Structure 1
Amino acid sequence: MVTEAEFRGEIGKRAVRVANCSGAHGDPGFQMPRQLELGSVDFVTGDYLAEMNLAENATAYREGQHPGYEQTALDGLVESIDLIHKTGAKVVINGGSLNPAGLAEKCRELICSREYSLKLAYVSGDDLLEQVQNELKSGPDHIPDHLDATNAQVKLDHLTKSFVTDVEHRQLVSANAYLGARAIVKALKSGADIVICGRVADASPVIGAAWYWHSWSDTDYDRLAGALIAGHLIECSAYVTGANYTGFDELDMDALIDIGFPIAEIAHDGTCVISKHEKTKGLVSKDTVECQFLYELQGTAYLNSDVTALLDDVMIEQCSHNRVRVSGIRGQPPPSTTKLAIFYQGGFRSEFLLNATGYATDEKWDLYEAQIRYGVEQRGLQNQLDVLEFQRVGRPESNAPTQLRSTTYMRVFGQAAAKETLINLYKVIREYGMQHFSGAHRSLDLRTALPRPYVAYYPAIVPQDQLKESAIILHADGTVEKQIDAGHPPSYQDIPARKSYGPVSQIDMDSLGPTTTVCLGDVALGRSGDKGANINIGLFVRDEGAWSWFASFMTISRMTQLIGDDWSDDFFIERVEFPNIYAVHFVIYGILGRGVTSTARLDCLGKGFADFIRGRHVEVPLSILEHAKRFRFAQKKNVC
């Protein structure tokens, strides 16, 4: 085993190597020992929590039917404990979820069974359910502010507003604040080898590792901001090494099977190099890193409990094969508030899937929707349903050689406060079941049509100074050695107004010569994701020669046009540019309704939105298209 003195002897003398082993609760436990086996790392971090994880398990946990922590996190620790002891690498993960103390206890038992001297800690203070419940007993005036409430141009979904006005009758499921890295640093300074967290922000384990390693102060804002972006880049595991990559079709398929997970090498100045272990599959390129950089941003300022990262001048450069350097990040004090994810019982939902094949599909769906809407009106359900949508999924292939390639489906999606309302909706569907259009057929599984309870999402903010974040250091027997108050940031700044602007420099489009109609994806890569009720999307071209055209072309009005029939005047769009990486970034407010578990959209996390936009037809100058073709060919040479 590497001693603490030996470990600390390296601190600050070189970049810290932080490996990621998980980006969601589905990433298997064996990814943790892989990161320890395949090469030298100083830390292994893991992000096991999407916004819905805690809510999905909260009720079962409080009823004693779920352990509260993520099982794959425990699996990883079980499979890695010998390697942690042998290598001296430290582990910081948020797999504790609703019950970090419970996962810490399981880990303690594991350590004792091996008779290792590893020190264990966990972080507390994110669970604010009892506090929020008590505040809401006083009425809607005491509900925390919505995350987007400060933006006067954003129209909150009407169901979000109903939660605020009717909050006394809502049953809360969970309320967890997004913590920073302060308690993690306190635990590491106290000698912890393994730190178990609950709902810390996604990048906090990486920030904590770099902050501790380099002995930064809590006002080293440029350095902390750099670590924040390093954490942002690797916290989604394979998303930066080839997964969810819009340029995947340029690569050999074999390179994307069993992708290696990433490593961030974070220097003392906060700059980082993103890499992966040698001989693992996947790809770390300027493009894969840029795609992940643009994922789930909110513009040019990235807010975190410890620091505000300013991204305007970001630089992303290929150093060598599978090594990409990220620099240009500046930091400022954090905001005085942090995100608070509140989930509550939203009622019930159901969905019914029906298939249509071949000829006159549009007319078939017109008839079916008219039939069901008539039945809904006859039963007087229209005012009892919170949501009723008839979503047409796909279009039949012309002259399809198989029936499946000629088949599309309709998703009838309903939400209501009362279970009986959705039972009556299903009765309507059954009543008209034999009045169907020609060739209608359904799947054999009708369970999705039966009402199921769902939890709805209310993203809020909470003052950081109200939080009681702690690092709890454990003795080998499980008793508390000490509980360390994490404290609060030394200073705050007001949340900066979000930037939004048109093209910085507009060019004459006619000067670029003749155009042709192609998919936008033929010239631009990108990434999209969700932030509550909103979708963010970043799109970029690959060389400076195409940038002036692209920045001029991708306006707010263009994005509105590309959204097409999905556009609503209730939405609001912000636009910014990242000129050093040839990217334009948009936030579309309100497009996901209430977001996450309560949205009616099939793509509830907005992950497919970028590919929808890239699939739209646009007019592109032939000269720009030639640039794009050269880069697509060159990309094939960069894969292992």
Structure 2
Amino acid sequence: MTTKKRPVRIAGCSGAATDRRHAMAMLAANCANDHIDVITGDWMSEANMTSRATLKLAEGGDAYEPTFIESLEPALKYIAKYGIRIAVNAGASDTKRLHEVVTGMVKQQGLSLKVAWISGDEVLPAVKKAQRGRESSFENICTGEVLEDWKFKPIAAQAYLGGLGIAAAFERGADIVVCGRVSDASPVIGAAYWWHGWKRDQLLELANAFVAGHLIECSNYVAGGNFTGFKSLEMRGWDDIGYPIAEISSNGQAVITKSRGSGGEVSTQTCSSQLLYEIQGPWYYNSDVTAILDELWFEQLGTDRVALRGVKADLPPPTTKIGLTAAGGYQAEVHWFPCGLDIEAKTRMLETQVRKLLAPYSDKFTKLTFTTIGTAAENACNQDAATVDFRIFAQAPTAADLAPSKFLRPCIDPIMESYPGATPHLDLRLGFPKPIQEYYVTLLPQADVQHAVHLWDGSGIDISPPPKTKTFPAQQPSKASTRSTTSQSLGETTLGPLGWVVHARSGDKGSNCNVGFWVRHKDEYDWLRSLLSVDTVKHLLADEYKKGNKIDRFELPNMYAVHFLLHDHLDRGVSCSSSYDFLGKNVAEYLRSKHVDLPVKFLSRGKL
């Protein structure tokens, strides 16, 4: 490998299968004015990992993520023109087929780009072999359940691979590398490793690239998307928020910026927002390295330029995370729209009527919930403001258990006997059974993963597991509370929403939900960490707290942040959740809306 002197510029063009499709072509076409060396993108989530695995088993069509093709096709001519490298996480359950499709597209456009693909993420045979040999109980890292007790039969298992396969493909001359399930940050790790000619024992460099990869993996998030300071972005252009670029030096130092002329911003605050998203504690694991986050901080270097500081490094763990998919049954739902006065009594009446009609069939249901979404405003200025959504939701093992005669019809049949104004949603498609997938998160030894690179000429490269690893305690460091010596001298307080002063960010990892809180000013931090104990968060969650569930807490003092991990808070994860907030993103917004005693001196600086 040849070490290159200047930093590598790596852009993140996608954070999900539903991200805007234009970014890759936009970044590539503008390369002469805003240089990019590598474009990375993530099209994978637990939702399409499970659905594509199910599709593959049913032989229902190509099981890669098709929205990636929509992004790549218009970008190919610019990728070839400017010599840009591409590394993406889009193969889902059929990376080989995706490689064939991309190769065909390249030939169709008359280009000479070399396309490689990564295998090794599909590990169901390794899991079954380890089960037969009693080598592991495969404990669920979210719930503590063991795989033998899981009531579903796995149909697929995917490991989260590191970035060294991508690096090896680039070193052999690949222009495009398509992956199935590498970790979200692995394309950035692989690109930086290749560019700078790093070695496996350069842990600090790898850790910095890992965290930089986490910052840009979700495209617009680090440039102002999903940011609790979003109101300040309106004058900066929030109609087209920009895509991030990580500039990573040979020593691992990273600067985060964004595409020129785009909306949004890159600031210490937007970087804090993205950093706190999806982490599980101060130890942040990847197959190639462990990043230690407890002393991390950000430095604003200039407009839309933020430096990553304080990252520490340790050896990677001997295991990697894997996700198992199983057919989970079926679900259906019906919506009614009570309006005006007596909402509680109206919904109670309807629920009583529906339950009676469902009684002959509901013993087959695995879940049946009745939920009022929203609050009807008093003396509302329009009818919509006085209306709520009453949701009836059910899951069952088979489609027959949720046949229209057994769910949909009993849910809408009370229309003539029910509350005043009784009106169901007339689009009844949600009331028909649709398949769902269960998802189980556990660990597999990296030595059991057959990580490999497949080149355009039919040759391959095996990627060995890390030669040195470290076994970390299963429990991340956690401190339930902190006593502050300054919180008693903050002066007058007033009752108001936490979010007037405090930023927050939350998200899902399986059935776990993480929530990070941070403040803008140093003198606000002692108040924040004193206020937000585990017990306080339980109190603020109120009815949302699932009694007995563990909550971990750790502090990031250089970021003025406190982070919480709510174990098993979500209903089994995005692929089968019964919750409206199936990604856990609104847990932070709910908690920011809760009232606490706020120091008046902080409010004088302006509400968020």
TM-score past 0.5 threshold:
yes
* In structure 2, distance between residues paired with 1:259 and 1:425: 43
- Which of 369, 374, 392 pairs up with 2:372? 392
- Which of 389, 407, 428 pairs up with 1:446? 428
Q: Which residue is 1:487 aligned to?
A: 464
Q: CA deviation at 1:505?
A: 4.5
Q: Does structure 1 residue 334 correspond to structure 2 residue 327?
A: no
Amino acid at match of 2:469: Y
Q: CA deviation at 1:325?
A: 0.7
Amino acid at match of 1:71: P
* In structure 1, distance between residues paired with 2:126 and 2:415: 49
Q: Does structure 1 residue 300 correspond to structure 2 residue 300?
A: no
What SS class does the counterpart of residue 275 from structure 1 fall into?
A: strand
Q: Which residue is 2:86 aligned to?
A: 91
Q: Which residue is 2:511 aligned to?
A: 533
Contact 1:178/1:200 (8 A) holds in 2: yes
- Which of 20, 23, 30 pairs up with 2:15? 23
Amino acid at match of 1:381: S
Q: CA deviation at 1:521?
A: 0.8
Q: Which residue is 2:141 aligned to?
A: 148
Q: Which residue is 1:513 aligned to?
A: 491
Amino acid at match of 2:139: H
- Which of 182, 185, 209 pairs up with 1:200? 182
Q: Does structure 1 residue 583 correspond to structure 2 residue 561?
A: yes
Q: Which residue is 2:102 aligned to?
A: 107
Q: Does structure 1 residue 260 correspond to structure 2 residue 242?
A: yes
Q: Which residue is 2:215 aligned to?
A: 233
Q: CA deviation at 1:429?
A: 2.3
* Per-residue deviation, residues 602-624 of structure 1 (Å, max 9, x unmatched): 11110111111111111111112
Q: Does structure 1 residue 464 correspond to structure 2 residue 459?
A: no
Contact 1:21/1:261 (8 A) holds in 2: yes
What SS class does the counterpart of residue 91 from structure 2 fall into?
A: coil
Contact 1:173/1:455 (8 A) holds in 2: no
In structure 2, the CA distance between the partners of 1:466 and 1:312, relative to structure 1 (3 Å rule), is same
* In structure 2, distance between residues paired with 1:402 and 1:253: 30
* In structure 2, distance between residues paired with 1:84 and 1:251: 31
* In structure 1, distance between residues paired with 2:200 and 2:545: 43
* In structure 1, distance between residues paired with 2:247 and 2:486: 43
Percent sequence identity over matched residues? 36
Contact 1:147/1:339 (8 A) holds in 2: no
Deviates further, 121-130 or 393-402: 121-130
Q: Does structure 1 residue 428 correspond to structure 2 residue 413?
A: no
Q: CA deviation at 1:628?
A: 4.6
1:313-328 to 2 correspondence within 5 Å? 313-328=295-310
Q: CA deviation at 1:533?
A: 0.8
What SS class does the counterpart of residue 106 from structure 1 fall into?
A: helix
What SS class does the counterpart of residue 14 from structure 1 fall into?
A: coil
Q: Does structure 1 residue 402 correspond to structure 2 residue 386?
A: no
Contact 2:24/2:75 (8 A) holds in 1: yes
1:263-278 to 2 correspondence within 5 Å? 263-278=245-260
Contact 1:28/1:72 (8 A) holds in 2: no
Q: CA deviation at 1:451?
A: 1.8
* In structure 2, distance between residues paired with 1:77 and 1:601: 33
* In structure 2, distance between residues paired with 1:622 and 1:28: 41
What SS class does the counterpart of residue 432 from structure 1 fall into?
A: helix
What SS class does the counterpart of residue 264 from structure 1 fall into?
A: strand
Q: Which residue is 1:499 aligned to?
A: 477
* In structure 1, distance between residues paired with 2:528 and 2:150: 46
* In structure 1, distance between residues paired with 2:356 and 2:544: 24
Q: Does structure 1 residue 415 correspond to structure 2 residue 408?
A: no
Task: Extract unaligned runs of 5+ from structure 1.
Answer: 1-7, 150-154, 633-640
Q: CA deviation at 1:60?
A: 2.5
Task: Extract unaligned runs of 5+ from structure 2.
Answer: none
In structure 2, the CA distance between the partners of 1:422 and 1:461, relative to structure 1 (3 Å rule), is same
What SS class does the counterpart of residue 346 from structure 1 fall into?
A: strand
* Per-residue deviation, residues 361-390 of structure 1 (Å, max 9, x unmatched): 1221222233334444x42634x3221111
What SS class does the counterpart of residue 46 from structure 2 fall into?
A: coil
Contact 2:282/2:292 (8 A) holds in 1: yes
* In structure 2, distance between residues paired with 1:114 and 1:593: 46
* Per-residue deviation, residues 547-579 of structure 1 (Å, max 9, x unmatched): 111111111111111111111213211111111
Q: CA deviation at 1:417?
A: 1.6
Q: Does structure 1 residue 286 correspond to structure 2 residue 304?
A: no
Contact 2:503/2:517 (8 A) holds in 1: yes
Contact 2:236/2:265 (8 A) holds in 1: no
* In structure 1, distance between residues paired with 2:130 and 2:435: 25
Contact 2:480/2:552 (8 A) holds in 1: no
Q: CA deviation at 1:427?
A: 4.4
* Per-residue deviation, residues 312-353 of structure 1 (Å, max 9, x unmatched): 010111110011111111111111111111110111111111
Q: CA deviation at 1:495?
A: 2.3
